[in-house]
Amino acid sequence: MHKILNLSFILLAILLFTACEEQKEHTAPGIYPRDSVAMMTSYGVNTLISDSGVIKYRIVTEKWEVNQNVNPSRWIFDKGLFLEQFDEKFHVQSYIQCDTAYYYDQKKLWELRSRVRILTKDGLRFSSEQLFWDENQHVLYSHVFSRLITPDRQLQGSYFRSDEHMTKYYVSNSKGSFEKSDFENEGDTLQSAPDSAKSTLRQRMAPQRKNTSIPLTH
């Protein structure tokens, strides 16, 4: 009987200890809907975009995602993008297309990736694998290999910079075909020098007879 009471006491103590022990829940970290989900996703988009009442460009894309929950906030075009750029009078200035694009709305900066192609109204063609378009500075630039083809010449290089209308551009580490007029500018001292200076600069030395005699040996 004494053994039975001792066993009952031990079982009761085990039950009380188990009941008092703090229970731990096995849960995963919380996932909040606003952590990474886009606030808007549109498909089959063909729309005009304006700024301060002025239409700036037309967007044509299969998928347009607006995500304000990432830093920096951005528009995402991961299914390709086609842009028409307009001037103040709604005239088309250029056509731009690429495989992937990001628009950082707070910075007003476009980042175009993979098979970037541009065609302007003047017939200039641009191709690269990456291009940035800064709307605040009104410039386009690229730090990777780029190629320019105009009706008159071809250029290619590892760095490209231009105004957003592609009328004034710069290519470094370049190679390609050039016209003579590309090198005739106001910075050419010979071109801008007066006639008297030119005659001095271009004056040739009197020809001298080359000594072709063979010395005699003894």
State pLDDT tens for residues 100-130.
999 999 999 999 999 999 999 999 999 999 9
DSSP string, 124-185: -EEEEEEEEEETTTTEEEESS-EEEE-SS-EEEESEEEEETTSSSEEEES-EEE--GGGG-S
In degrees and rounded to multiples of 5, residue 18 shows phi and psi of -65, -40
pLDDT band, residue 25 (cuts 50/70/90): low
Average confidence (pLDDT) over 91-100: 94
pLDDT at 131 over 60: yes
| Cβ-based neighbours of 11, under 8 Å, separated by 6 or more | none
Average confidence (pLDDT) over 59-65: 96
pLDDT at 73 over 60: yes
| Calpha distance 101→82 (Å, rounded) | 10
pLDDT at 9 over 50: yes
> Which pLDDT does position 29 carry in this prediction?
59
Structural domain range at position 170: 40-179
Share the mean pLDDT of the chain: 76
User: Which of 58-72, 99-113, 175-189 shows the lowest per-residue confidence on average (mean pLDDT)?
Assistant: 175-189
162 assigned to some structural domain: yes
pLDDT at 206 over 70: no
190 assigned to some structural domain: no
167 assigned to some structural domain: yes
Give me 162's structure tokens.
């231009």
Domain count, the chain: 1
79 assigned to some structural domain: yes
Instruction: Answer for the pair 59, 24: CB distance below 8 angstroms, yes or no.
Output: no
CATH code assigned at 70: 2.60.450.10
84 assigned to some structural domain: yes
pLDDT band, residue 13 (cuts 50/70/90): low
Instruction: Answer for the pair 62, 80: CB distance below 8 angstroms, yes or no.
Output: yes
110 assigned to some structural domain: yes
206 assigned to some structural domain: no
> Which pLDDT does position 142 carry in this prediction?
96
| Cβ-based neighbours of 96, under 8 Å, separated by 6 or more | 81, 82, 83, 84, 85, 112, 116, 117, 118
Beta partners for 165?
none
According to the per-residue pLDDT averaged within each range, which of 7-16, 36-45, 202-211 is highest? 36-45
pLDDT of 159-173, one tens digit each? 999 998 888 999 987
pLDDT at 17 over 80: no
